[in-house]
Amino acid sequence: MSSKSRKIVDVLNGKTVSPPPLWLMRQAGRYLPEYRATRAVAGSFLDLCYSPELATEVTLQPIRRYGFDAAILFSDILVIPDALKRNVRFEEGHGPRLDPIDAAGIHALEGKGVLDHLQPVLETVGRLRGSLPEETALLGFCGAPWTVATYMIAGHGTPDQAPARLFAYREPKAFAYLLDMLADLSADYLVAQIDAGADAVQIFDSWAGVLGEKEFSEFAIKPVRRIIDSVKSRRPQAKIIAFAKGAGLFLKTYRQDTRADAIGLDWSVPLAFAAELQKDGPVQGNLDPMRVVAGGTALDEGIDAILQALGNGPLIFNLGHGITPQADPENVTRLVARVRGEAR
Ligand SMILES: Cc1c2[nH]c(c1CCC(=O)O)Cc1[nH]c(c(CCC(=O)O)c1C)Cc1[nH]c(c(CCC(=O)O)c1C)Cc1[nH]c(c(C)c1CCC(=O)O)C2
């Protein structure tokens, strides 16, 4: 690798970097006109995910425009269920749809061909490492088993993941089998992304916040720990960010028990608590994406509060969840300048 170190990797190694490096969850997406233009010629959303040429292009778009410190592979957490033949599709205005799975379906899942199916995504990772500026980190990712399982069981997004919570109580054996299988496939997938050129990987547990205490331990911590142990046993240098949205007070034990190098924080995490969490290691977050829609002083004040509370420790500046399609690209320009201290 290069002699120049990538700032996000430095932070993941526990260093304080000032100003903090930044990237935004969902930084390649519908708020960007160039993304919408590529999306329009790509066919379906999954066609875009499986086209190394177009997926590379949309990954690079926000890097060209804003010079973020990291690019995140353009793909989706649902490519694993797609590789498991769950008939994943993205319908305009409806979000993802899958064939809902039951206990018998879970035991019939066939994991063998999954990495072959994901070969185009791994090719995208390799192309990206060859096209990115030397100083820009490349992040790979996967969904956490709990969040991926919620979509597989319900067959679509729901406000509270009631179908998956109910299934977990009624069919504990099948559910545990599904989480273990997703964890093992995800670990293999992350190792392959690292080998293809990813500097670090993020595990997205977007639905961790609907779990009770015991369930958080069983369904959020345990499978993510299984992924991290598996990846690190094979690639000891691998750096892993774990983002459990809505995990609140569980975040302290989440970091300790998953052994993630950094934890992602959503915007509901109080900054004083975030500073406590930062004493145990690097944190990433946590601006409310609506502040990027609002712009102006709402944006500036949100940024300043995070920098003040967390800027003197290991921090990767990010949003508390993905940027939304309503965000004005000009507000992102303003955000980048302010985080980098160019606008105060
Ligand atoms: C739960 C989840 C999914 N996908 C993902 C998560 C976890 C993070 C989160 O909670 O946001 C992760 C994801 N999805 C996407 C990325 C790309 C990388 C990035 O820029 O962050 C990443 C990291 C692209 C995408 N994934 C999706 C889009 C929009 C689809 C389009 O362009 O037509 C993008 C850019 C589609 C998607 N994919 C998913 C949903 C619920 C949707 C529909 C929501 C929507 O329409 O905004 C599942």
Which residues lie below 8 Å from residue 247, measured CB to CB, with a gap of 6+? 205, 208, 209, 216, 220, 254
User: What amino acid is encoded at 66 in this protein?
Assistant: Y
Report CA(320)–ligand 1 centroid distance (Å): 14
Query: Does some domain include residue 261?
Result: yes
* pLDDT in the model for residue 94: 85
Which residues lie below 8 Å from residue 61, measured CB to CB, with a gap of 6+? 28, 32, 34, 35, 38
The answer to whether 147 touches 208, Cβ cutoff 8 Å, is yes
The enclosing H or E element of 202 equals strand 200-205
Which burial class, exposed, middle or buried, applies to 217 when counting CB atoms under 10 A from its CB (0-12, 13-18, 19+)? middle
ipTM of the complex: 0.92
Lowest mean pLDDT segment, chosen from 2-11, 34-43, 118-127, 321-330: 2-11
Cα gap 59→49, rounded to integer Å: 10
The more confident residue out of 93 and 146 is 146
Bridge partners of 63?
Answer: none
pLDDT digits (tens, 9 = 90+) for 90-142: 987 889 999 999 999 999 999 999 999 999 999 999 999 999 999 999 999 99
**Does ligand 1 lie within 6 Å of residue 141's CB atom?**
yes
206 is in an annotated binding site: yes
The encoded tokens of residue 1 equal 């690798």
Query: Does some domain include residue 2?
Result: no
Question: Atom 35 (ligand 1): residue with closest C-alpha?
Answer: 29
The more confident residue out of 264 and 343 is 264
The answer to whether the bond into 87 is cis (omega within 30° of 0) is no
Query: Does some domain include residue 242?
Result: yes
* pLDDT in the model for residue 284: 99
**Does ligand 1 lie within 6 Å of residue 156's CB atom?**
no
Query: Does some domain include residue 87?
Result: yes
76 is in an annotated binding site: yes
Query: Does some domain include residue 344?
Result: no
3 — pLDDT class (breaks 50, 70, 90): very low
User: What amino acid is encoded at 80 in this protein?
Assistant: I
pLDDT at 47 over 60: yes
pLDDT digits (tens, 9 = 90+) for 168-202: 999 999 999 999 999 999 999 999 999 999 999 99
Report CA(205)–ligand 1 centroid distance (Å): 12
Query: Does some domain include residue 23?
Result: yes
Q: Using the atom order of ligand 1, give the atom closest to the CA of residue 204.
A: 7
Report CA(40)–ligand 1 centroid distance (Å): 16
Query: Does some domain include residue 247?
Result: yes
pLDDT digits (tens, 9 = 90+) for 245-270: 999 999 999 999 999 999 999 999 99
**Does ligand 1 lie within 6 Å of residue 89's CB atom?**
no
pLDDT at 241 over 70: yes
Mean per-residue pLDDT over the chain, rounded: 97
Q: Look at residues 145, 117, 155 and name the one whose alpha carbon lies nearest to residue 204.
A: 145
**Does ligand 1 lie within 6 Å of residue 177's CB atom?**
no
**Does ligand 1 lie within 6 Å of residue 206's CB atom?**
yes
Residue to probe by mutation, ligand 1, list 22, 23, 24, 26, most atoms within 8 Å of CB? 26
Average pLDDT over residues 165-169: 98
Residue to probe by mutation, ligand 1, list 30, 77, 148, most atoms within 8 Å of CB? 77
**Does ligand 1 lie within 6 Å of residue 29's CB atom?**
yes
165 is in an annotated binding site: no
170: containing domain: 7-339
* pLDDT in the model for residue 282: 98
The answer to whether 317 touches 20, Cβ cutoff 8 Å, is yes
Query: Does some domain include residue 1?
Result: no
CATH number at residue 33: 3.20.20.210
Domain count, the chain: 1
